[in-house]
Amino acid sequence: MSDSTDEVRSYTVRLELVDEPGELLRALEPIANNGGNLLSIFHERGNVTPRGHIPVEVDLEATPERFDDIVDALRDAGINVIQAGAEQYSEALTIILTGHLVNTDLSDTLSRIHESTDATVTDLSLSAPEGTDDASSARIRLATEEGAVTETMSAIRTVAGDKDLRVIEPLAAGGEA
Amino acid sequence: MRLAVIGAGAVGSSVVELASDHGHSVTAFADSSSAVIDSAGIDAAEALDRKRIDGVVGSGTPEDALSAEYDVLVEATPTTLGDAEPGFSHVQAALERDRHAVLANKGPVAERYADVRALERESEGSVLFEATVGGAMPILSTIDDFDPSHITAVRGVLNGTANFILSRMATEGLDYEHVLAEAQDLGVAEADPTFDVDGTDAALKGVIIANVLSDDGTEYTLEDAEVEGIQEISGSALELARADGRTVRLIAEVVEGSVRVGPRLVPDNAPLAVSGTRNIAQLETEHAGQLNISGRGAGGPETASAVLADIGRL
Ligand SMILES: NC(=O)c1ccc[n+]([C@@H]2O[C@H](COP(=O)([O-])OP(=O)(O)OC[C@H]3O[C@@H](n4cnc5c(N)ncnc54)[C@H](OP(=O)(O)O)[C@@H]3O)[C@@H](O)[C@H]2O)c1
């Protein structure tokens, strides 16, 4: 960390936007309003997250202090900030969920995991050999902040517990698996 | 050394059979209803024959065995939860007479570790229990060699039956019930496999490890362990794991005073992904990195070897 807090630096922010008109504009406002200088916007149309959101990458310039305000303002505006500056989502985590996944609303399960952990689902495979009414399994890969794996796992256990789903955890959260 | 072997099942019988090979004599041998005692050393073959044919080891009573002349009591009665009886009282009887106790029975050191240690402190005798964790594998003695304070975590596959079931399910694409029945036919799983598949057996071993690692006197029992079994693992979950280069193993994990047992995703080629009835323990050491010990985690002669190794260390 640098201690010169007034120096302007460039940052990358990854956002996930709901696919609705006006969303992008709404996301850019907090940046301008808090003294950020927009450099580029990379709108990954066609690349949709498992939950139907659109990933957007924004490059901007700001002082570290203002940058923090920008991220806070974005989050206050209800915008999903996936990655901001140095705060990388660098730990991948794979779990398997089993149980009545479909009947207990899989997409709701995923968004609850996302909301309570700040981790993003980067990959999902579902196997429902007996049809959707029966027990099925899903392999889910998540990206989570460095050092937040233990926290993420305990949040996942809570969500799974509420829905009577079983979690097959990776070995040693944060470890070799 | 003169041994009193209490319990005449797979483990006790093997100890009796192998004792003379290791330079020991058996002066007392008991099952649940009978005993054979001879201060000059019993005739092992005769006692084992008698057990096989008549279901008793001799004409004495089990109490006679406890009061016989011996240097080491070998505790090989069934593992029980809670008060850990009758095993605990057998260990107590030996220590109160200033004799050593070597355990295959997990109960006393998993459920009443502090009581066992307290009795040991008052006694000239010592307590060793290598056989309780991982059969023939030298897990506890390795921890002891390194000193528990230099071990930061232990993870392992500590139940061969559960591992056999999971690895068969994964490679053959068969479901749980099918593989369990097959394991019972092969004698890999017992008629009542509950403690193997619900994680209890692995958890008891994890608890014993936690007790050994505990550096502040905290005592662990089965109640402190978070345990989940493999009964609900589906073929589809294993299939999804496999498509991703992973598999599922029942892993016991002892880290910083927590004991957890449950099915975990491990990379296909990870050391912990042993197959069949094989066991493995992975020690995380402070200065020497990761240490893997694998081998046969159960079986009469295997477990008896660990008992005899303990006797050699006394
Ligand atoms: N088998 C393994 O691979 C293995 C591995 C590690 C640890 N262990 C542990 O080692 C112990 C022995 O295992 P095992 O497989 O040999 O068990 P087992 O085949 O069930 O044998 C238990 C023996 O204990 C005897 N017994 C029961 N109550 C007794 C009493 N009050 N006094 C004297 N004897 C009594 C039984 O007598 P009867 O013959 O009259 O019924 C039987 O001979 C268990 O605690 C087990 O958890 C086993």
B89-135 per-position pLDDT tens digit: 999 999 999 999 999 999 999 999 999 999 999 999 999 999 999 98
Q: Is the pLDDT of residue A173 over 50?
A: no
CA distances from A136 to A165, B145, B176 (A): 10, 46, 15
The mean pLDDT value of chain A amounts to: 81
CATH number of the domain to which B168 belongs: 3.30.360.10
Domain co-membership, B205 together with B111: no
How close A42 gets to chain B, by Cα (Å)?
30
Residues B73, B119 contacting (CB under 8 angstroms): no
Residue A3 has a pLDDT of 46
Q: How far does the centroid of ligand 1 lie from the alpha carbon of residue B273, in Å?
A: 29
Cα distance between residue B273 and residue B278, in whole Å: 10
Per-residue pLDDT band at B266 (split at 50, 70, 90): very high
Domain co-membership, B280 together with B158: yes
Share of chain B above pLDDT 70, in %: 100
DSSP B70-81: -SEEEE-SPP-S
Share of chain A above pLDDT 70, in %: 85
Per-residue pLDDT band at A175 (split at 50, 70, 90): very low
Decide: pTM greater than 0.80. yes
Sign of the torsion angle spanned by Cα atoms B278, B231, B241, A118: negative
Domain co-membership, B123 together with B238: no
Token reading at A174: 């944060």
Domain co-membership, B114 together with B210: no
The mean pLDDT value of chain B amounts to: 96
Residue A6 has a pLDDT of 63
Domain co-membership, B144 together with B126: no
Domain co-membership, B70 together with B175: no
The domains of chain A, with CATH numbers, are 9-84 (3.30.70.260), 92-168 (3.30.70.2690)
What range defines the domain where residue B149 resides?
140-296
Domain co-membership, B183 together with B221: yes
Asked if B174 has any chain A CB less than 8 Å from its own CB, the reply is: no
- Of A26, A41, A52, A46, nearest in space to A121 by CA: A52
By Cβ distance, the residue of A98, A125, A176 closest to B270 is A176
Per-residue pLDDT band at B289 (split at 50, 70, 90): confident
Domain co-membership, B114 together with B189: no
Cα distance between residue B257 and residue B248, in whole Å: 24
How close A168 gets to chain B, by Cα (Å)?
5
Q: How many domains does chain B have?
A: 2
Domain co-membership, B284 together with B199: yes
DSSP 3-state assignment of B106? coil
Residue A174 has a pLDDT of 37
Residue A45 has a pLDDT of 60
Residue A106 has a pLDDT of 87
Domain co-membership, B270 together with B187: yes
What residues of B are designated binding site?
Answer: 7-12, 106, 190
Residue A42 has a pLDDT of 75
Sign of the torsion angle spanned by Cα atoms B21, B22, B23, B27: negative
Domain co-membership, B6 together with B115: yes
Residue A116 has a pLDDT of 81
Among left, alpha and beta (phi > 0; psi -120 to 50; other), residue A52 is left
Per-residue pLDDT band at A177 (split at 50, 70, 90): very low
Domain co-membership, B131 together with B94: yes
Q: Is the pLDDT of residue B172 over 50?
A: yes
Asked if B102 has any chain A CB less than 8 Å from its own CB, the reply is: no
Per-residue pLDDT band at B144 (split at 50, 70, 90): very high
pLDDT for B7-30, tens place per residue? Answer: 999 999 999 999 999 999 999 999
